[in-house]
Amino acid sequence: MRYFIELAYNGKNYHGWQIQPDAITVQEVLENALSILLRKKIQVMGAGRTDAGVHAKQLFAHFDMEMIESISDLIFKLNSFLPKDISIQNIFPVKEDAHARFDALEREYEYFISLQKNPFSNDFTYFIHHKPNIDLMNSAANVLLSYKDFQCFSRSNTDVKTYNCDVKEAYWKVENSQLIFTIKADRFLRNMVRAIVGTLLDIGFEKTSMLQFHEILKSKDRGKAGSSAPAKGLYLTKIVYPEQLKN
């Protein structure tokens, strides 16, 4: 049987989601825990990769296993066994051909910026000293919806067949002393959201004009876009799947 597992994690202590040699990752820790508790070698396939230090409020992965007698017991045991910075939210059976990565219809990320020094959020937001022009940043964010090729925001040497993404929403909002950027798309390239945030901040601080922003998007050149914003402010917040995926 195939199961989907829904989890959340604080990415501070991990070198991203995907298993890598000589680096601790969320996928490795989760696979080890499942394998020990289910007494069988378990491999999980995630809905996508998060970079080192990036957090996830919601991420799905799938794995194959014979009938699990008590899912609630497995969730309880996993949460007791896993480190405190990884939390299992749910496990549920899906169709045999369901795929956590390829069946995802939409993904949502949020990026948090703090305008006020706060020792309690230092590991989870990017602190900046001056407030940028939010109206300019929202105008630029809206421009993203009219483009498809985002190679200019992709990490170099990424093994992808296409740099096209369908960005459905992109906007900034202000909540108390925080700026929150939300972006939704069918897929994202590696480092894409952090590169977008860094470039939009350059616009907000009037280092980059709207005309230059269009030129960056058309250039397909990562070197022309802004610096990547720090990983600690980025969260994968939502993944949408078709309803008929559940078993």
- Active centre residues (catalytic): 51
Q: Are 56 and 8 in contact (CB under 8 A)?
A: yes
DSSP assignment, residue 145? G
Which of 61, 11, 54 lies closest to 33, judged by CA?
61
- Rounded to whole angstroms, how far apart are CA atoms 223 and 234? 21
- Rounded to whole angstroms, how far apart are CA atoms 102 and 40? 25
Which of 99, 78, 95, 96 lies closest to 87, judged by CA?
78
E strands along 121-177, which residues?
Answer: 126-127, 167-175
DSSP assignment, residue 49? -
Please, which residues bridge with residue 149 across strands? Answer: 164
State both tokens at 104.
């995802």
Residue owning tokens 């080890």: 32
Element (H, E) at 181: strand 178-185
State both tokens at 86.
């990884």
Q: Are 56 and 30 in contact (CB under 8 A)?
A: no
